[in-house]
Chains A and B, each alone.
Chain A
């Protein structure tokens, strides 16, 4: 199987800033913020109120900002979003939340408020509820040899006719080094559509290489496109 799809929108959030195919280009140094944003970021960059943004976990913040920069709401109408799938991959997942919650196990009361964010699907849920994406939701775990899993799964979903649109991407976010993993933020989101006559989109997304030794980052082209 080697399906392809039409790229309708894409965006990236990293340690430099927020970049999207809508033309958004906001640098953290200009915002006087750090990745992946604070309670004022949504208002400052997108002029949009988001009362709970500051309370959500770091991967969710990065994904929510990336979706705003990609202009998900402009790219799809609500009927389309009701059927749009989300398929996002992560390497370290919710490591910071896991460590924070585990640290609270020594206390009389655990930090129950953050417990749901120890599940990566909760971060995807924050995206789904903000953009009203009601298609299938899949959080995939990856390592260095399996980058691009969510892109492959998204292409499968489109190719098999199971959905018309899918938001694929990758997110990893750590505020400070832990377990030998460097701190840093990188989120990429790409909105894909099943190819249709008359809909050119930004580009065509092809099946990413499956050979882990080839050293190609399947997300690099989308990051370049977003920037």
Chain B
């Protein structure tokens, strides 16, 4: 018998600024934080726009290499505040990121892109007494991190866990994606026929999980699962096999049927291959219930792709959609050329029923993650 896992607190830093409210308000208003590059303007890459933290999000003297740690810390503090200031001596950490601190890779610092290095720092900074862990599964890191933490609570090992995910764009990441031809020169347009790639963004998200329903904000992590395309290390399976498998498994893990899902937060990067195969793979999940496919949205055209942080930030948006009983519009989508079975609203959609939200994520290495949040 596995214990239930509830959400007790949330925190976020994004291109919309500091705080979950800024992120949720911006996304549900249909705004975008993708702006002309400022902090990263010196890097020669094939795009003009990114979703950088705006000035004032963190103190101006924080170095770029230290932003993953500082933004994670700020997001965690916000989450702890919402959780009512729990006893941190009994809380464990799962830190999720792609590369974290690269100060020793691209400069004379100590950070050798080891997520555990930052996890140790965060444990000390935040005064956590539990064991830290660090996961790095590319852009699926956040969702996988939630699963790793939830599994520990469900198993009865701990009563509370903090999941923090952060990634900040730098020259290494921007030029890597640019060199692969994966960046849209302008704001990304997931699922649109004119899409040309991804836009990147800074991000940090935090979730406090608890076994105690009385500490909950009214949201339960009801299911989580993963899969691998086992097809190609950077490209998706042509039929979205992995993402469909992860979605089905998470729904089953939650004890639900596909028709129970009321809304879907997508990975939706804006690359031609991702969006096409994601639509097919998820469309197949509701193959036998075409008239009951839940409305789906992505938010990378608003925040940029925040890489390892995306899974947590976007899970927070899925939860916000449940709370607001509304799916925001898919910003940048005008002409959908992907599998039409995926229901992609181009204007805000009120939900008659808002009980279960599914969040999916994909990462290099064929990694797929999915989580179900329930009210």
Contact = CB atoms under 8 A, between A and B. Distances in A.
B228 A160 contact: no
A134 B240 CA distance: 13
A111 B246 CA distance: 32
B117 interface: yes
B186 to A, nearest CB: 21
A147 B90 CA distance: 21
Given A95-B113, A134-B242, A128 B172 contact: no
Contact of A143 (B105, B120, B156, B172): B120
Interface in A94-153: 94-95, 98-99, 101-102, 105, 109-112, 115-116, 118-126, 128-129, 131-143, 146, 149, 153
A146 B117 CA distance: 11
Contacts of B180: 112, 115-116
Given A109-B179, A126-B233, A140 B135 contact: yes
Interface string A1-39: 100000000000000000000000000000000000000
A139 B357 CA distance: 26
B322 interface: no
Interface in B113-135: 113-117, 119-120, 131-135
B160 to A, nearest CB: 16
Interface in B182-203: none
A187 interface: no
B98 to A, nearest CB: 6
Contact of A95 (B112, B133, B242, B245): B112
Interface in B74-124: 98-99, 102, 104-106, 112-117, 119-120
A57 B134 CA distance: 22
A138 to B, nearest CB: 6
B21 interface: no
A91 interface: yes
A111 to B, nearest CB: 8
A162 interface: yes
B116 A119 contact: no
Given A110-B176, A160-B2, A210-B131, A123 B119 contact: no
Contacts of A93: 113-114, 136
A18 to B, nearest CB: 22
A161 B249 CA distance: 12
Given A122-B365, A129-B230, A140-B135, A105 B171 contact: yes
Contacts, number: 182
Contact of A116 (B112, B229, B234): B234
Given A140-B135, A141-B115, A125 B105 contact: no
A129 B236 CA distance: 12
A143 B114 contact: yes
A189 B116 CA distance: 21
Contacts of B245: 134
A157 interface: yes
B253 A162 contact: yes
The range of chain B's interface size is: 35 or more
A47 B106 CA distance: 41
B29 interface: no
B364 A121 contact: yes
B227 A134 contact: yes
A74 interface: no
Most buried by A among B112, B117, B180: B112
The range of chain A's interface size is: 35 or more
B175 A110 contact: yes
A137 B226 contact: yes
Contact of B117 (A121, A132, A140, A143): A143
B225 interface: yes
A101 B171 CA distance: 11
A136 B245 CA distance: 10
A86 interface: yes
B298 to A, nearest CB: 21
Contacts of B148: 138, 153
Nearest to B144: A138
A101 B144 CA distance: 26
A132 B230 contact: yes
A161 B366 CA distance: 23
A179 B114 CA distance: 13
A159 interface: yes
Contacts of A115: 176-177, 179-180
A136 B114 contact: no
Interface string B309-349: 00000000000000000000000000000000000000000
Given A101-B172, A109-B179, A156 B155 contact: yes
A92 B175 contact: no
Contact of B365 (A109, A112, A123): A123
A139 B136 contact: yes
Closest 8 CB pairs of A and B: A136-B226, A125-B365, A112-B179, A121-B365, A115-B176, A141-B115, A141-B134, A125-B233
10 contacts: A112-B180, A118-B113, A118-B172, A122-B364, A125-B232, A125-B366, A129-B232, A129-B366, A133-B230, A136-B369
Interface of B: 2, 98-99, 102, 104-106, 112-117, 119-120, 131-138, 140, 144, 147-148, 151-152, 154-157, 171-172, 175-180, 225-234, 241-242, 245-246, 253, 363-369
